[in-house]
Amino acid sequence: MIKLNEVHKVYSQGKIGFHALKDINLYFEKGEIVTIFGPSGCGKTTLLNIIGGLDQPTSGDMVINTKLTTTFGEREWDYFRNHQIGFIFQQYNLIEHLPIVENVAISLKLSGTKHKESTEKAIELLKKVGLEDHLHKLPGELSGGERQRVAIARALINDPDIILADEPTGALDKKTGYEVMDLIKSICADKLVIIVTHNKHIAERYATRQIDLKDGRVVSDTKPVDKKVNILRGKKVNKKKLKFKEAIRFSLYNIKGKLWRTLLVSFGLSIGIVGLIVIDAFFNSIREGIENESAVLVNNPDLYINDEFDPNADPAVIKEDIEDYGYFKEILYSPKSNFKIIEFDDGVTIPASYDVTAIETPQTTSIKDTFTSLVGDSRFPSGDNEVLLPSWLAINLIQSNTKLTKEETWDRLKGEEYLLYSEYEYIPEYYEMYEALDKETCIITSKWDGNYSNYPPEYDQVLLGTLSENMASLETYRNTPLEFSETEDIFCADYDEFYWYLNYEEPIGTPKTVTIVGIHDNDLFNEIIVSDNIIEDSELQANSIFGGAPDESIYNNSIRFRGFLKNDEVDNKVRIITNMERDGYLISENTRLGLSMLGPVVNLFVYIIQFIFSSIVFIAIITGALMLLLILFIGIIERKREIGLIRAMGGTRGDVRSIYSGETTIIGLISGVMSIIFAIVIILILNAVIYHNYFDLVVDNLPFVDPKKVLTINFGKLLWAIFGALIIAFLSGLAPAVSAGRKKPIEALRNE
């Protein structure tokens, strides 16, 4: 039952007004088929919109089933349109990107009904209107009559009391129009049906009651009815909302219809996120390297132990003394002097050579277990004259222009023999002692060619005349000069005031022929691991001495060991070092102390640099977000009819916002997944390019970074990339979603 009492509708624009409806008093009952007939502009559609709650009267009252609609708020109107009104429009007003089964089910889903139940009821109604073979077709694939049948099924899905049809046959041919009206009459017999039409024949053939309008007034009514009504004031109705997963479902259909645009928008949004992931991957590897070094500094059980040098000392005795402390699970002799490994071929030495330090093979299982990456069938030295090389040295020995993997390097070196020197001559260091030279016993001259009749001109100060006299004047100086620089020599009576250093460029003695038995990649052991006999047979030399012959000089060196603290002694490291230093040992840790001590500062600096780069890249994210915002606002204009239709079927503002938010959620998810895929591909490519083209640069400048993984992905943070994309997309779509939700149904439907 509907009663309209003195209803007026005035449209105003500025000071100009148009009186569309004038003093409308009508009463409608269930079971009637009422046609409202009249010329264009007479107010037919306005009256229908007011009855359907799409528009509000300027004055007057309307009562629907004992409810005074003048007191309705927005929620009550949404509930009324969803549960008691079914609309059939002239232009069908189907949502083009939804299959017809979804078009029919949408009104039921807007009332909170589950997908399965609403779909089953939609299929049942579509069978009633003869469309069971077209359930999953899009509206564009149907004829006009079939589309109007879909609209009829949609109007009936919520079993409303009132069917409002605005020119339902206006876009159809005569035959199809009659078929549609026959269908409306047959399946709406127990409902109030109000039809707006221009077609007098339709009104006469199907209507049980005809109302004529002219200039906004009722001029005739074939069956005027008026009754008193009771008005009941009940509680406000809280309409159930559209379930979010159904909003997502509708969004997916829309995205499917605009797939390429969606992918391009998602790609634009992902560009900035990819940049952030790549930047984080680069700085992540640096941070990990620094943090690992800091962790080594704290938890490192590996100590260098130095004892005062004694040329007659037996390292084995000193080792036993250190073992007596009971702090160490293993102590290895690690001579401080360098060894030189030289490649040879058929006994002919090849110039390429490398200075290395050596250490004897560890025996403790826990220390051997740190060698987790012995290459191929590599092993520890077990026989005489065997060596295990660190990977950096193995790669350098190959001297290949092609970057080889460790496995390929091992295939080239497996079982190869090299020369290993351990004895060196001493050479004097001049530069540091220049100021301390006794100018009376030493003369610095230009280069001398060795001709005794052609001394350098600086000797003029001591030359007296004849050769014999000149030679006699030089008796206080040694005849053989020492090289001072590339252009100068030095003559001294003796050279006891100089420091003497081992000359690693020119080893002496007979080298050992050693066999390479493996390659390791243990960062704590950058030395070559050698068999015991190599250590035992090596000449014990001081790294530097002061004075003349080595056996008469003051030594500046020590015997060095590597001690590995027991697990339960690592926390006592400071106390242990203090105790041993009190006994005369010099203790240091096997780590790059300079970097580790500055670790927190360097780490902070890394974060600052990353923030600066990320801030620059963030501009791309803002650009992508603005692009998404623009696209969504354009979408509101494109989909005004859809928004108006959803509101006309009782959808709330929140339902419209949910559909828009669903779309932005999907776009954000696609963007996040795109970001991860693109970032992983780019990082893999960059790592390969850097490794093959900038290997040496990385090793020299970023020694704590794996040259194969200069960019290290933090897979935990990849989830944050998806979450971030969702948040950015959601925030970008928030304003368009709110704007779409604010559209009034009548305004949206008028601006098709």
> Which of 68, 4, 1 lies closest to 29 in space, CA to CA?
1
The predicted pLDDT at position 594 comes to 38
C-beta separation of 653 from 741 below 8 A: yes
The larger pLDDT score, comparing residue 353 to residue 584, is at: 584
The larger pLDDT score, comparing residue 694 to residue 138, is at: 138
Model confidence over 191-205: pLDDT tens digits?
899 998 887 888 888
3-state secondary structure of 739: helix
The tokens of 108 are what? 């039921």
Q: Which long-range CB contacts under 8 A does 466-472 form with residues at least 24 apart? A: none
C-alpha dihedral sign at 474, 479, 482, 484: positive
* Helix 715-741 / helix 599-638 crossing angle, nearest 10 deg: 30
Q: Which CATH number does 2-240 carry?
A: 3.40.50.300
pTM comes to 0.56
Bridge partners for 85 per DSSP: 162
Model confidence over 416-433: pLDDT tens digits?
888 888 888 777 665 445
pLDDT > 90: percent of the chain:
6
pLDDT > 70? residue 612: no
**Where is average pLDDT lowest: 165-169, 350-354, 576-580, 668-672?**
350-354
Q: How many CB atoms lie within 10 A of CB 249?
A: 17
> Which of 600, 576, 601, 571 lies closest to 588 in space, CA to CA?
576
d(CA 591, CA 594): 9
The predicted pLDDT at position 752 comes to 47
The tokens of 395 are what? 């790669």
The predicted pLDDT at position 432 comes to 46
Q: How confident is the model at residue 506 (pLDDT cuts 50, 70, 90)?
A: confident
The residue written with tokens 């696609």 in the block is 670
Model confidence over 696-726: pLDDT tens digits?
677 666 666 777 778 887 777 778 778 877 8
**Where is average pLDDT lowest: 252-256, 550-554, 592-596?**
592-596
The predicted pLDDT at position 237 comes to 63
Q: How many CA atoms lie within 13 A of 735 on its CB side?
A: 11
* Alpha-carbon distances of 120 from 35, 190, 406, 706, rounded to whole Å: 32, 23, 64, 60
The tokens of 222 are what? 């074939």
* Alpha-carbon distances of 119 from 78, 100, 331, 598, rounded to whole Å: 22, 11, 78, 66
C-alpha dihedral sign at 525, 530, 531, 534: negative
pLDDT > 60? residue 599: no
C-beta separation of 170 from 18 below 8 A: no
The predicted pLDDT at position 388 comes to 92
> Which of 745, 735, 747, 743 lies closest to 631 in space, CA to CA?
735
Model confidence over 92-142: pLDDT tens digits?
888 888 899 998 998 888 888 888 889 999 998 888 888 888 888 998 898
Average model confidence (pLDDT) for the chain? 79
The predicted pLDDT at position 211 comes to 92
Domain positions in the chain are: 2-240, 251-296+599-750, 299-425+503-544+555-592, 431-497
- Give the mean model confidence (pLDDT) for residues 284-304: 69
Model confidence over 453-505: pLDDT tens digits?
777 777 665 555 665 666 666 666 666 677 767 787 777 766 665 667 777 77
pLDDT > 70? residue 603: no
> Which of 110, 1, 93 lies closest to 649 in space, CA to CA?
110
The predicted pLDDT at position 234 comes to 62
- Give the mean model confidence (pLDDT) for residues 542-547: 67
Contacts of residue 566, defined as CB under 8 A and 6 or more positions apart, other chains included, come to 301, 327, 328, 329
Model confidence over 550-575: pLDDT tens digits?
454 555 556 888 888 888 888 888 89
- Give the mean model confidence (pLDDT) for residues 308-312: 69
Model confidence over 332-373: pLDDT tens digits?
888 777 788 887 665 444 455 677 788 888 888 878 877 766
The predicted pLDDT at position 236 comes to 61
pLDDT > 70? residue 576: yes
pLDDT > 50? residue 324: yes
Q: How confident is the model at residue 405 (pLDDT cuts 50, 70, 90)?
A: confident
The larger pLDDT score, comparing residue 733 to residue 211, is at: 211
The predicted pLDDT at position 25 comes to 92
Pairing, β 423-429 against β 499-508:
antiparallel
* Alpha-carbon distances of 573 from 192, 327, 570, rounded to whole Å: 93, 9, 5
- Give the mean model confidence (pLDDT) for residues 448-452: 76
Model confidence over 11-70: pLDDT tens digits?
887 777 788 899 999 999 888 899 998 888 888 888 998 898 888 898 999 988 888 888
pLDDT > 60? residue 581: yes
pLDDT > 70: percent of the chain:
80
The predicted pLDDT at position 386 comes to 92
The predicted pLDDT at position 479 comes to 66
The predicted pLDDT at position 469 comes to 65
pLDDT > 60? residue 407: yes
The predicted pLDDT at position 466 comes to 62
3-state secondary structure of 62: strand
